[in-house]
Structure 1
Amino acid sequence: MSHPAQVPTPGKPGVLTGLGFLGRAVGIAFRSPKLLLLGAIPAVLTTLLMLGGLITLAYWVGDLATWLTPFADTWSDWLRQATRFVAGLAVVLGAVAVSVVAFTAITLVVGSPFYEHISETVEDGLGGVPDAEKASWGRMLWLGIRDSIVLVAVSILINLPLLFAGFIPVVGQTVIPVLVACVGGWILALEFSAVPFTRRGLTLKQRHHILRRHRGMVLGLGVPAYLLCAIPFVSILAMPIVFIAATLMAREALSRRP
């Protein structure tokens, strides 16, 4: 598979640049079905696992909402039901937000060899990485697990206050879901771009520092990726496509590094 060598996008990359990487990734994936298949295999296993967890949560969400709102026991019937509906919705949104990040983290760790191969194939077609570090599979696995634990923990810490903010009427059902998608999209972009950064010997902290300079581009890719990965079964095809797009995004950000 060969692709034209990538050159930095003229001007400062923004949201449309991030979206454009998703479009390019779709073309690359469907021109190379092997890459699509390799990236989908680990996602199938993780999708079944996460779907089972969300179905269990949906079954118990009424009881959870009641447990979270004991103060509403003496309220009028309509107000109590409305409060517990909002509480249940907030719980589901929070669970989905964390599960999308956890789904990605688990899939990338389980499918580490597959995704490393995809990233190397894409980058080789774009001119390669002359100074790439040759880390062992065990080291790459350890780094993937360590970074995933950090990012999932960060996701939980950020989404916890957003969960309680979901109780606020109107704002909790409009502004908060947008914030959740933006936070989730940013964390997913950090997760998906791990391999190209690690191949250059860069840490999670350095990855965050470099991508922070291109927030529009990162969110332009990350937010659609978050929404796609939140849909069961759609996420199976979305995983390899987003991973390819994140590799392209990482190369763009690194090419503009001072």
Structure 2
Amino acid sequence: MRDLGAGFGHLLKGQRWVARHGKSYGFGLVPGLITLVLYLAALVSLALWGTDFVAWATPFADDWSSPWLGLFRGFLTAVLFALALLLAVLTFTAVTLLIGQPFYENLSERVDRDVSPDGTAPESDLPLMRELWISGRDSLRVLVRAALWGVLLFALGFIPFVGQTVVPVVGFFVTGFFLTEELTSVALQRRGVELRDRLALLRSRKTLVWGYGTPLAVSFLVPFVAVFLMPGAVAGATLLARDLLGEEIRDGDEGRPDGGSTARTVSPGPAGPAGPAPTH
């Protein structure tokens, strides 16, 4: 229970940090807004031309009599739109982080400098394109894992009573875990921690991860909320990453007004059960 509270505390501290640093918050909104516009354009296009697409994909039903033709294609159109919405929810964070890699990298470094006792922050020595490649590759791997869990939970959802009570709750915890993995990847990738070690690190403190990610996953269900919470979510995930790695967090919640002094490369703290942070 203590770790659950600590995880939720990191989430709140991250939101408070960006509230005190308006410039960082403003820059952090840009990637989410870009992703939102792209997703809305795709969904609107699907709403406008989804019926035509279904008709093109089902020529065998052209000769069906009314009302079966309309019911069949209407059902497929609804399923197609529902799947698109589900895919949008599952991929929004990953796509936003990929688009906003430079923005969130800078924000995460500012948080590190702000809470570090000596005002320093680990820096990545990788070129931007290399970082984008690693981020996209790892996000795809995490998405595959999340999709497998989604298929399993969907199948379990048909079990009477359990599927309508236990399964949705488990689904939020699973979503919270993978959401936390995506968000902490900004700080952990900068420290050279590979995906396999990141997952092991998160599994070693599941209650801490659930305390952070599950409330965030629930809040992301509200339309447009994800865009406005993303900067604070990245800031909070940086604090969570420091906790997972055993790095000291400076006492006090106010932080330095300017986000810290000039960053210098420092060695990451102990990586706990995941072992030492590897290099790329």
Alpha-carbon contact 2:112-2:121 (below 8 Å) kept: no
Look up the match of 1:41. Answer: 30
Look up the match of 1:257. Answer: 271
Q: Where in structure 2 are the equivalents of 1:2-41 lying within 5 Å?
A: 14-41=3-30
Look up the match of 2:106. Answer: 117
Segments of 5+ residues of structure 2 without an aligned counterpart are 55-74, 247-269, 273-280
> Which residue identity does 1:102 align to in structure 2?
T
Look up the match of 2:156. Answer: 165
Q: Where in structure 2 are the equivalents of 1:1-258 lying within 5 Å?
A: 14-51=3-40, 56=46, 98-127=87-116, 132-255=123-246, 257-258=271-272
SS at match of 1:253: helix
SS at match of 1:167: coil
Deviation at 1:226, TM superposition (A): 1.1
> Which residue identity does 1:249 align to in structure 2?
L
Q: Percent identity?
A: 33
Alpha-carbon contact 1:97-1:159 (below 8 Å) kept: no
Alpha-carbon distance between aligned partners in 2 of 1:164 and 1:185, rounded to the nearest angstrom: 20
> Which residue identity does 1:141 align to in structure 2?
L
Change (3 A) 1:45 1:140: same
Alpha-carbon contact 1:26-1:241 (below 8 Å) kept: yes
Look up the match of 2:59. Answer: none
1:29-68 Cα shifts (integer Å, max 9, x gaps): 11001121112111112223445666758x98xx9xxxxx
Change (3 A) 1:192 1:130: closer
Deviation at 1:169, TM superposition (A): 3.0
Alpha-carbon contact 2:176-2:213 (below 8 Å) kept: yes
Deviation at 1:113, TM superposition (A): 0.6
Alpha-carbon distance between aligned partners in 1 of 2:30 and 2:240, rounded to the nearest angstrom: 23
Alpha-carbon distance between aligned partners in 1 of 2:8 and 2:84, rounded to the nearest angstrom: 26
Change (3 A) 1:254 1:129: farther
Deviation at 1:209, TM superposition (A): 1.1
Deviation at 1:249, TM superposition (A): 0.2
Whose Rg is larger?
2
Alpha-carbon distance between aligned partners in 1 of 2:226 and 2:122, rounded to the nearest angstrom: 33
Alpha-carbon distance between aligned partners in 2 of 1:181 and 1:97, rounded to the nearest angstrom: 14
Between Structure 1 and Structure 2, how many residues are aligned? Answer: 219
Deviation at 1:172, TM superposition (A): 2.0
